Amino acid sequence: MLRAAWLTYRMHQFEVLVSAILMTVLAISVWIVSSHVTSLDIAGTCWAGDRISRQPVCESFREIARSEAGYAKAGLGLVGPIVGLILGVPIVAREVELRTTSLAWSLTPHRGRWLLSRLLPMLALAVAGFVVLGWLGSGLFEAMEVGPVSPSLTEVASQGPTLVARGLMALGIAVLAGAVIGRTMPAFVVAAVAVIAWSFIGVPAVQQSMFADRAVWTDDVNGYRDGIGPLGTVASGEFDTSIPGVDGEPGARFDYEAFNRQQVEMCGQPPEETVFNDTPEWRSWQTCAEQFPYPEDMYWNKLVLASTYPDFQQAELAVDGVIGGVAFLLTFPVVARRRPS
């Protein structure tokens, strides 16, 4: 087995070297950025509501969040698919393209074993690198959680197990594309299109389908009551909470136009405003208008709270795992039925 692994690495030494360098450089970069954040010793006073303080240490944190931390998060989100494509496509496609499979398959009684001997070394390298990067990514995200910073659903696959799952999914798609097409560059293009389509179309579609079940009405308009911003706003409205609500709404919708018409009918048109609104006409109108006050709890938003963020991570993990697992499994019958060249 070790001999087969060594031969695989030698055969694909360029891809292995590029992937190893890419993951190593990113791992070092993420570790450095995390150390920059943790060294700031940010006090809890940096955040007041949803605004950051102007203290020098808080300004330093803001600068890191806008620059190097943002680049590190983007790199963590991209490294899995990129490395998966680089390592996965040539495993089968290159040998079919170079027509070395004729001899190899004639000497190997079972093509599944031949595929495993090529796949497992590359899989081991990918898993080792992704696990380290996922762990470092989780550390970076934890270091950045010093205030009410809203988590982004676009960063779900930039940390922990979800980073590993997205990378292995790309690897599985790449191996399958290489086995089906049998040529390295066309297979790389097809696999890249599939991974990009899933990342920018499939993942948002899955996340959007989860929004309706997790959205709740709240009078916390900005969603910062729990110290962290929401994942997204589904709807907004004005409600009179003194009236029973329907269909999960907190109360009857408040009709500003109807309220204003009632106010005008009872008190007349409001007088022209002055600088201090201290004219007898204005005071008289205001006394009348106070008999018809606005409801106290009228501003409500339907939010997906940040506390549901783990649900989206688990969904990403499950779907990526299924797609990647199916791709790996389908590669075996494709190789078994494929002509050598």
Q: Angle at which helices 111-144 and 68-88 pack, to 10 degrees?
A: 180
Q: Express each pLDDT in 87-108 by its tens digit.
A: 999 998 888 888 877 776 776 6
Q: Which residues pair with 73 in a beta bridge?
A: none
Q: How far apart are CA 12 and CA 312, in angstroms?
A: 36
Q: How far apart are CA 231 and CA 306, in angstroms?
A: 5
The ranges assigned to domains in the chain are 2-211+308-337, 232-302
Q: Express each pLDDT in 260-317 by its tens digit.
A: 787 788 888 877 765 555 678 878 888 888 777 776 667 888 888 888 889 999 999 9
Q: Express each pLDDT in 134-161 by its tens digit.
A: 999 999 888 887 655 677 888 888 989 9
**Confidence (pLDDT) at 76:** 93
Q: Which residues pair with 303 in a beta bridge?
A: 216, 233
The number of residues making up the chain comes to: 341
Q: Which residues pair with 304 in a beta bridge?
A: 215, 232
State whether residue 48 is helix, strand or coil. Answer: strand
Write the burial class of residue 182 (CB in 10 Å: 0-12 exposed, 13-18 middle, 19+ buried): buried
* Residue for token pair 């990067």: 133
Largest CA distance in the chain: 104
Give the start-end residues of each E strand in 181-262. Answer: 215-218, 232-240, 252-253
What global pTM score does this model have? 0.81
- Segment 59-80 shows an average pLDDT of 87
Q: How far apart are CA 319 and CA 77, in angstroms?
A: 16
Residue 60: CB partners within 8 Å, gap ≥ 6?
40
